[in-house]
Each structure stands twice: as structure tokens, then as C-alpha cells.
Amino acid sequence: MSSDPFQVLDIQTAGGSLEHLHAQVVRCSGRIEIHCPSGKVCVLISKTELESLEQAIEILSQGTDYKQMSEQISEIAGTTLPGTRASATTSL
């Protein structure tokens, strides 16, 4: 196993190494993508990395650009009824 904090592994490789992967992710504050043959993917992520991502989202969501985008999406969603298509001329 690599010491790279951001890895991609298949499920067979990851399956027998969960304890080692856990220790590596915690030590490096990283994440590991685990792929299975069906194409589905999960991510093993450290709590530190998760908290950093959550903090970044919180900071970004307080910005005026985010608030304007949210208002535009709400307006568009409010004018679009289920089963109908929005006009191609609707501006964002």
C-alpha cells in the first residue's frame, strides 16, 4: 500500500486491508476511493478531512454569490411545474 493520502483501490485490495487503510487515512488526514466491479464507489475519509470539507462548505455558503445562486434556483424551481419543461429562454 502506498502512503499517498489520496488513493484509488479496488474492493478486493481494500477488503483485506481495512485496519491498515483506516490507520493510513487517520495518520495522513486523507481519503481513499474504493471501487467495486459494479462501478459503485465509496470513500474512506478521515474525520479531520470531513470536518475541513464541512467548514469550507459553511464558509462558501455564507457568501453573497452562493445566496444569489440559491435565490435564482428557488425562483426557477418555483416557476417550473412538474411535468412541464422550463423555457429555453429562461436566463440563469
Alpha carbon distance 64, 79 (integer Å): 23
| Domain boundaries along the sequence of the chain | 6-63
- Over residues 21-37, the pLDDT tens digits come to 888 888 887 788 888 88
pLDDT at 70: 82
pLDDT at 91: 45
Q: Is the pLDDT of residue 7 over 50?
A: yes
The residue-averaged pLDDT of 4-20 equals 75
pLDDT score for 54: 93
With a CB cutoff of 8 Å and minimum separation 6, the contacts of 55 are none
CATH of domain 6-63: 3.40.1620.10
